[in-house]
Amino acid sequence: MDRNSLEHLVRVVSEEVYRGLDLGTSKEPGPSCPWCAETCSGHCAAEVQRLVEAGANRISAHAPGASVERSIASLIDHTLLKADAGYEDIRRICDEAKQYGFASVCVNPSMVSLASRSLAGSSVKVCTVVGFPLGATLSLVKALEAEASIVNGAKEIDMVLNIGALKSKDLATMGNDIQLVVQACHARDAACKVILEAAYLTDEEKISACSVAKASGADFVKTSTGFGPGGASAKDVALMRSVVGDDVGVKASGGIRDWKMLQEMVRSGATRIGASASVKILQEAKADKTASSFPVPVGEGRTGNDYY
């Protein structure tokens, strides 16, 4: 791990932990830190750096008194993409997202403005989908849809790649498709996640898709739309993580309906979870006495960006 990556990891871990603390005065740890003996690995940046230099590439840390469920919630895109979802449904999931502290709400593009207004003043982001769910939309249209959604308040874009081009081994067309959307996102400080729809793909095609997505500047790769013939699997998540390495996020989505499956996805390498059963998952985590030892990943997406 190079020095820039190390310094970034230290900064991200420290900021995540401090966000859950209320020290009353200074936010800087010092010799008299009351928790140092117990939580130094999470609270002290120097100790985090020591652990990373010793070989750690993932660290679990919780601030004293901070809610474990809140940490788990920060991994989840609270999702509602059903065709019949109405305005009250969108307001409801936004209220739930604020209550539980989800990373984002993921809604269809026509609902982005409403979600953005409903989440105003909160830390919850608006995520939307582009070229959804088939990936067969014209590249220019995908880029324009991404741009318009960001103008309307979206901070994260989940695009479906050109599956037909991938199946035809036309990686240049698929890469150009991704690049246009990535450029539209990054020009406006938004993150871009690339959906593979893994159930349609061979392992070779999954590897090609992840490689091209990473080379095209994507911030995440994502397993599924939730509308295809299959959802997320631990095997696919692990394969995707092995291809993109540590500096690109992996989002597991599709069929993740319980706490057990969320744990399986994270242990396989996922740093974000897309789910509609988010509240149920948190309730199950809260009832699990071992949840406090679950290694919640800290930091995600491309190293060095500020999209998460």
Q: Which of 142, 155, 206, 222 is catalytic?
A: 222
Q: Which of 125, 193, 206, 251 is catalytic?
A: 251
Task: Measure the CA–CA gap between 57 and 247, rounded to whole angstroms.
Answer: 11
Cα end-to-end span (Å), the chain:
21
Q: pLDDT class for 93, splitting at 50, 70, 90?
A: very high
Known catalytic residue at 222: yes
Known catalytic residue at 235: no
Task: Measure the CA–CA gap between 168 and 171, rounded to whole angstroms.
Answer: 8
Domain, as residue range, for 125: 68-289
Q: Which of 77, 125, 142, 158 is catalytic?
A: 158
Q: What is the pLDDT of residues 134-187, one digit of tens each?
A: 999 999 999 999 999 999 999 999 999 999 999 999 999 999 999 999 999 999
> What CATH number is associated with residue 149?
3.20.20.70
Q: What is the pLDDT of residues 70-89, one digit of tens each?
A: 899 999 999 999 999 999 99
Nearest 5°: the CA angle 107, 124, 191 is 70
- 87 within domain boundaries: yes
Q: Say yes or no: 43 and 76 in one domain.
A: no
In whole angstroms, how far apart are CA 84 and each of 89, 126, 131, 280? Answer: 9, 19, 18, 21
Q: Say yes or no: 196 and 259 in one domain.
A: yes
Q: Say yes or no: 49 and 73 in one domain.
A: no
Known catalytic residue at 167: no
